[in-house]
Each structure stands twice: as structure tokens, then as C-alpha cells.
Amino acid sequence: MSTPRDAPIVAASDFSPSAGRALDRAAALAQVLARPLRLVHAPMRAGWLQQLAPPSVLPEPRAAAVAALAAEAARLAPFEVDTMLLEQPLDLALDALGQPLLLVLGGAEPVGLRRLLLGSTAERVLQQHRLPVLLARQPADQPYRGICVCTDFSEPALQGARFALGLGLDAETVMLHALELHWNSTLSYAGVGPDGMEHYRKMARDEALHSMQAFAAALDAPDAVPAIREGHAAQVLEDFVAEAAVDLVVLGVSGRSALERGLLGSFSRQAAAQLSCDLLIVPAVA
């Protein structure tokens, strides 16, 4: 995924506390990566009642939004922040921003993240613009210390990992693969005993280890630590984040078809919604 060297980091704000934390994270990344920072506010999609109301009845929030943008930018002084008030909902107005490096959105609570992933702004941005989205849920008072790159060894996972590692964040990186042994119950039903089950498990682990080595070689990331855990992908991810004190999870998603099926591929929305850390979702490009 190639972006111009001066591509900005864009933080979108609705002026909520979670959006403020997202702006803080975006500012911290912009400083580390020597990128410009742009703060934008976009109108929400009109509900059915607003659509029925005549224009003269609707309030005019523009002046208040401009003032709130200026106040948020001033809060980060002396770091320079460019502000922009968009005329359309965010996913419809991103073309006006050129080609940002990534978009940072707030996600204050698990339910908020679930709402973002289940069909609102973040999902529409990922689907329509192929733009990496960072859902910032933690305070940005410290840089990222532990990054978990999730992989099923696919091309989208590789692209997501390359983007994340290409940011050059000074953090310990783990490549996590969930080894789901779907055939356990089938072999048991067929009368395969413990020795036979262990034989098939070893074959599966050896194959996963070989794939992980190839994945690491393709990334050219010798410092990244491989981790293969048995279990359902969603539960493996949730447990690993808690165990390893991960504060950023990276997911590469495959594109429009994957978004329509559920956005996160093998990782369920339920698990992603329960994560307590930040989440970087990187859509694959052809």
C-alpha cells in the first residue's frame, strides 16, 4: 500500500470524549511519523425525521462546529493542526481530503466499537475508500508498546502487516495465528484414537509453522515474534491481547466481499468488539 510521503493523518471528530482521545492518538502518531495532522468534522447522516423537515426548520450548526474545531486544534498547540469542516457525511467527503495515510476514529467502549463495525462510518469508509482505519480506544499518554498482527497467511493479512510495520512504530510486534482444528470432532466420530489425533494435530502445527516462517520472510521482519495458538480465532485473539498486554491489534481485511460477509474475516465481530485495545483495520488493495 503506497501513499505520498506527505500524506496526512486524519482524525474525525464529533467532539465527544472518545473523539478527543482519538485526536490525541492521531497527534501522537503524526509527531512520531513526521506527518501533517488534519482534524475534520462531518455532519451525521440525516435521520428520517430530519429528511422530512423543511430546511428552514433545521438548526444551523456550522458556526458552532467551526468554533469547536478551532478549540480542539488550539488544545494541541504548539503542534500544528489543519482543520476542515466537511459538507457531507465522512464517507462521502473523503475524496476532498486527497489520499490520507490513515483515518483515526474514536471508540470509547466495546459497544461503541461494535456499533462502528456493524455498518456505520468506519465500515463505509473501509468499503468505499480502501483507507486504513484506526479505532482509538485508549488514552494516548503513552506510545504503543505491544502490537499484535493477526494473520491467516493470506495476501490481505500480509498487506495489513506491511502497512503496520511500515509505520515504523517502536513497539514489540507479535504475529499471531489461530490454529483452528475443525476436524477434531469429525475424527473422534470416525473412531480415531488419541495417538491418531495427536498425529493430525502435529501435522497441522507443522504446516502452520511453515506458513508462519514464509509469512515472516515475506515481511522481512526478523524482530517480529511468531505465536501460534490453538483455538477459535476470536477467543485466541481476545485471550492473547489480555495475556500479552497488547495495545494495538492489526487486522488486514480482504475487500468488499469480506466486508459484506462480516468485515473481519476469520475474526468474529464479537471478539473485535470486546477488545480493550486500539484496532487498526487495513483493507487490501489489488
Instruction: Identify whether residues 150 and 286 lie together within a single domain.
Output: yes
158 and 253, same domain (yes or no): yes
Of 106, 141, 176, the one marking the end of a domain is 141
Q: How many domains does the chain have?
A: 2
Same domain? For 75 and 155 the reply is: no
Contacts of 3 by beta carbon, 8 Å cutoff, 6+ apart:
99, 100, 101
Q: Are residues 164 and 255 in the same domain?
A: yes
The pLDDT value given to residue 210:
93
Res. 70: pLDDT tops 90: yes
If asked whether residues 186 and 97 sit together in one domain, one would say no
147 and 78 assigned to the same domain: no
Q: Is the pLDDT assigned to residue 213 strictly greater than 90? A: yes
Residues 277 and 179 sit within 8 Å (Cβ to Cβ) = no
Q: What is the mean pLDDT of the chain?
A: 80
Same domain, 23 and 62: yes
Specify the pLDDT at position 128.
Answer: 75
Residues 195 and 270 in one domain: yes
User: How many CB atoms within 10 Å of residue 211?
Assistant: 15
Is 90 exceeded by the pLDDT of residue 176?
Answer: yes
More confident residue, 206 or 4: 206
In the chain, the percentage of residues whose pLDDT exceeds 90 is 42
Q: Is residue 271 located within the same domain as residue 223?
A: yes
Residues 121 and 251 in one domain: no
Residue 263 has pLDDT above 70, yes or no: no
Please tell me which residue, 181 or 131, carries the higher pLDDT value.
131
Q: Which residues of 125-164 are buried (b: 16+ CB within 10 A; e: fewer)?
A: bbbebebbbbbbbbebeeebebbbbbbbbbebbbbbbbbb
Are 136 and 147 in a shared domain? no
Same domain, 31 and 128: yes
Instruction: Please tell me the predicted confidence (pLDDT) of residue 218.
Output: 94
For residue 115, pLDDT beyond 50: no
Point out the domain boundary residue: 141, 169, 203. Answer: 141
**pLDDT band at residue 90 under the 50/70/90 scheme:** confident
Closest CA to 73 of 11, 127, 134: 11
Tell which of 107, 141, 175 closes a domain: 141
Q: Tell me, what CATH number does 61's domain have?
A: 3.40.50.620
Residue 193 is part of which domain span?
A: 142-286
What pLDDT, in 10s, does the model give residues 52-62?
A: 444 444 445 78
Question: How many CA atoms within 13 Å lie on the side-chain side of 177?
Answer: 25
Q: How confident is the model at residue 117 (pLDDT cuts 50, 70, 90)?
A: very low
Is residue 264 over pLDDT 60? no
